[in-house]
Each structure stands twice: as structure tokens, then as C-alpha cells.
């Protein structure tokens, strides 16, 4: 009888950065890529120069989606491959807009 021991494959972990969106405001990566997965850091409504987007919740959300898409593309992925999204809405009156 041959017993197989579980194996642990090593995975390369790499940081993802793109100039198509703002650089992080603190010491963290825009995303991390490892074992075929991409994890994004929290996104804020800012343009590529780091200026906060003003306007409606919808305009801010579109800025975040554009940034997320740019980071995913840099990592070799896309929005249609996203599995989970966590949205934090600090203004209760905006919750109805976000669904």
C-alpha cells in the first residue's frame, strides 16, 4: 500500500501596481497576486493623480470601478472574473443608491 503525503506547492507572491490609477496613500500594494488569485486593497474614489473625485455616489462608484478595472488588467485579470466585493457605505442615505 502506497501512502501519499499531502504536498504543499510553493506560490509566487507579487505586488501589482499600475500608473492608470492613483498610488496607494499608505504603505500597501494596489493588489497582490498569488496562486492564480488577485486580491485588491481597499479602493477609494480618486483619479490617477490621487485627487479625490467629488460628486454623486454614482460618480464616486464609477471612479472606484475604473480604478479596480485598471488594477485587475495590470494583474492579467478582469472585472468579469471577480468573485467577491465588499462595499462599505459610510453615509446611510447612500445605501439605496447602491442597492
Q: What percentage of residues in the chain have a pLDDT greater than 70?
A: 83
Residue 20 contacts residue 45 (beta carbons within 8 Å): no
Q: What is the pLDDT of residue 95?
A: 61
Topology classification of domain 13-81 = 60s Ribosomal Protein L30; Chain: A; (3.30.1330)
Side-by-side strand order, sheet with 13-16: 13-16, 31-34, 37-40
Closest to 26 (Cα-Cα) out of 62, 2, 50: 50
Share the mean pLDDT of the chain. Answer: 86
What are the extents of the domains in the chain?
A: 13-81
In angstroms, the CA 86 to CA 66 distance is: 16
Return the pLDDT at 56.
87
Tens-place pLDDT, residues 46-65: 999 999 999 988 899 899 99
Cβ partners under 8 Å of residue 14, min gap 6: 32, 33, 34
List the single range of 8-17, 31-40, 89-98 with lowest mean pLDDT: 89-98
Residue 29: CA atoms inside 13 Å, Cβ hemisphere, count?
Answer: 15
Greatest mean pLDDT among 21-25, 57-61, 65-69, 87-91 lies in: 65-69
d(CA 2, CA 12) in angstroms, rounded, equals 30
Percent of the chain whose pLDDT exceeds 90: 57
Contact 31, 16 (CB under 8 A): yes
Amino acid at each position: 500500500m502506497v501512502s501519499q503525503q499531502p504536498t504543499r506547492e510553493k506560490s509566487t507572491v507579487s505586488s501589482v501596481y499600475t500608473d492608470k490609477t492613483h498610488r496607494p496613500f499608505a504603505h500597501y500594494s494596489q493588489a497582490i497576486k498569488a496562486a492564480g488569485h488577485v486580491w485588491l486593497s481597499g479602493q477609494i474614489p480618486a483619479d490617477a493623480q490621487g485627487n479625490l473625485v467629488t460628486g454623486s455616489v454614482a460618480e464616486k462608484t464609477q471612479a472606484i470601478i475604473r480604478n479596480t478595472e485598471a488594477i485587475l488588467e495590470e494583474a492579467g485579470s478582469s472585472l468579469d472574473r471577480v468573485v467577491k466585493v465588499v462595499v462599505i457605505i459610510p453615509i446611510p442615505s447612500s445605501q439605496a443608491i447602491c442597492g
